[in-house]
Chains A and B, each alone.
Chain A
């Protein structure tokens, strides 16, 4: 038996009302969309949870919680911080807007002066995701951000190259 914020007891998918189920589904899908986008960027850069925890200056357990069921600590601020430290620029959009962006990219992109990037959508899934991560073309224009990300990348590279010391007993 679970409890929602309003204090109303809700049970399984069968026993709860249709509205509650719809809201729960919408929440879960959005959380998974955010988590998957972060994971996709991390996979693309070859980063692990440990690397992300170092970049965010939090514990690995905290990062693990962000990817868990309840997505604890995954606030909008944290999401922005994560993408910043991953050198990406997240764009929040709606399904409706996304569809028009796709139509624009497929059809009138050559003639249009709007330069939408839909890399997240095309690479990963066929049906629109509600989070789109664009390649960060502004990084060059923001030298501080570029430097910060480069610094992290160099530190992680050095970390992987560093020979592992084996513990010797006695």
Chain B
């Protein structure tokens, strides 16, 4: 799909901005990062984005690296647990933009909050057994 065919929601917009770089992402991908991944992973990615945008060139390889199977060698990825944010850098600007082309989420979180574990599970075993017998 060419860029002209994309709807407004599918155009990449700048989501994170720093003095040296910025990260552009489509609304759908941005929403998925907010909704579909654990907050710890989201925080890690945001931290990486911010530091990258501030101009850091020494992010650990476990967190930011070139995509191994990319034929052109232009794709790079931010990595956090079960999440890959893949994109490439634009070069025609003074302030470099990292365009996110794909967000891969291996394991999404349940969007509905689960209730806390039942109190019964914390009771001593003999009381739990007794309650079972009562039923």
Give the B-binding residues of A (Cβ under 8 A). Answer: 1-2, 7-16, 20-21, 24-25, 27-29, 31-33, 35-40, 43, 64, 67-69, 124-127
Contacts and interface: CB of A to CB of B under 8 A. Distances in A.
Contacts of B19: 126-127
A39 B43 contact: no
**Interface size for chain B: under 10, 10 to 19, 20 to 34, or 35 or more residues?**
35 or more
B47 interface: yes
B51 A24 contact: no
B-side binding surface: helix, strand, loop or mixed? loop
Interface in B58-115: 58-63, 80-81, 109-111, 113-114
Contacts of B56: 36, 124-125
Output the residue of A9, A12, A24, A27 with the most chain B CB within 10 A: A12
A97 to B, nearest CB: 18
A35 B58 CA distance: 9
A36 B51 CA distance: 9
B34 interface: yes
B54 A13 contact: no
A11 B47 contact: no
A40 B60 CA distance: 9
Nearest to A25: B43
B43 A21 contact: yes
A9 B113 contact: yes
A2 B113 CA distance: 10
25 contacts: A1-B109, A1-B113, A2-B38, A8-B116, A10-B39, A11-B38, A11-B39, A11-B110, A12-B37, A12-B38, A13-B33, A13-B35, A13-B37, A15-B111, A21-B39, A25-B46, A27-B43, A32-B47, A36-B51, A39-B60, A64-B62, A124-B55, A125-B56, A126-B20, A127-B18
A36 B116 CA distance: 37
A149 B10 CA distance: 53
A167 to B, nearest CB: 25
A2 to B, nearest CB: 4
Given A2-B40, A14-B34, A67 B111 contact: no
Contacts of B41: 69
A67 B113 contact: no
B134 interface: no
B18 A13 contact: no
A11 B109 contact: yes
Contacts of B60: 35-36, 38-39, 67
A43 B47 contact: no
B12 interface: no
Contacts of B54: 125-127
B84 to A, nearest CB: 13
